[in-house]
Amino acid sequence: MNNDPLILAISILFGAIVGSFLNVVILRLPEENGSVVFPPSHCPRCKTSLSWFENIPLLSYLVLRGRCRHCHNPISLQYPAVEVLMSVLTAAIVYRFGLSVTAAGYFLFCAALLVIIWIDIHHQIIPDVISLPGIGLGFCFSFFNSFVSWQDSLIGLLAGGGILYAIALLYYLLRKQEGMGGGDIKLLAMIGAFLGWQSLPFVIFMSSITGSLIGLLAMIPQQKGGNTRIPFGPFLSCSALAYLFFRKDILRLFLLYFQ
């Protein structure tokens, strides 16, 4: 644990800078031949390249009052949102785990989840280039991780991938259509690798409940019946984040319930 105000302030700044890089990844990763370094940052509407002072995390958005300086089109709220979220997550990780290898590993985990959440919302895919290396990284990291042992990580990775695969197969056999994408399976394997198998009951329980609720709400205006597709990745990711920061309370509640 680290509650030094200076260290936390630096974490917030660092998180905002990384968040603005994540915005570029979210925008360009799903593009074919998308490069995250070239071309330099530009307005997605009028394509004008941004000068350095239009590219400062959060501040630029506030100073420009959410509009492009050239074409005056609104700038997506996603940009400041990702920057704020990454700032808060970075500070929370440093506060919780101090300046440690464990903190560094979970910093990468949170960054990966944020990218997955937004790409899944926009494109209904979870990119393999994030989830597959994430599975390997989560397992390697477990050898240096004070939060999860490598045995728990290995079981988590196998069970996470296996459980969802079984559910997806069952759903396919019953309804003859794909209910859950392969991307969700790889994402849960990555979550199991980073958080250990103990996280899986909560992550699956919480994401199914919140996912079904939001799914039902989304169906009301469309009147389409049971086939509205909503991406499941954001629910898995948010449940994983909740577990990362509230593990003790969550496990205590689970034990109370099952006793």
Cα dist. 97→1, 3, 103, 105, 130 in Å? 5, 10, 5, 10, 24
Q: Which residues bind Zn ion (CB under 5 A)?
A: 43, 45-46, 68, 70-71
What is the per-residue burial (b if ≥16 Cβ within 10 Å, else e) of 226-249?
Answer: eeeebbbbbbbbbbbbbbbeebee
Residue pair 208/202 in contact (Cβ under 8 Å)? The answer is no
Q: How far is the CB of 79 from Zn ion (least distance, A)?
A: 13
Residue 76 or 100: which CB sits closer to Zn ion?
A: 76
Q: Exposed, middle or buried by CB within 10 Å (0-12, 13-18, 19+), for 198?
A: middle
Closest to Zn ion by CB, 69 vs 96, is 69
To the nearest whole angstrom, how small is the minimum distance from the Cβ of residue 49 to Zn ion? 10
Closest approach of Cβ 241 to Zn ion, in Å?
A: 32
Q: Considering beta carbons, is residue 55 or 198 the nearer one to Zn ion?
A: 55
User: Which is nearer to Zn ion, 54 or 120 (by Cβ)?
Assistant: 54
Smallest separation (angstroms) from Zn ion to the CB of 53: 15
End-to-end CA distance of the chain: 31
Return the beta strands (E) in 207-259 as ranges.
none
Q: Residues near 100 by Cβ (< 8 Å), separated by ≥ 6?
A: 146
Q: Count of CB atoms within 10 A of residue 141's CB? A: 23
68 vs 19, 50, 79, 141, CA distance in Å?
A: 19, 9, 12, 41
Rounded to a whole number of angstroms, the minimum distance from the CB of residue 72 to Zn ion is 7
Please state the closest distance from residue 54 (CB atom) to Zn ion, in A. 10
Nearer to Zn ion, 45 or 96 (CB): 45
- Closer CB to Zn ion, residue 48 or residue 151? 48
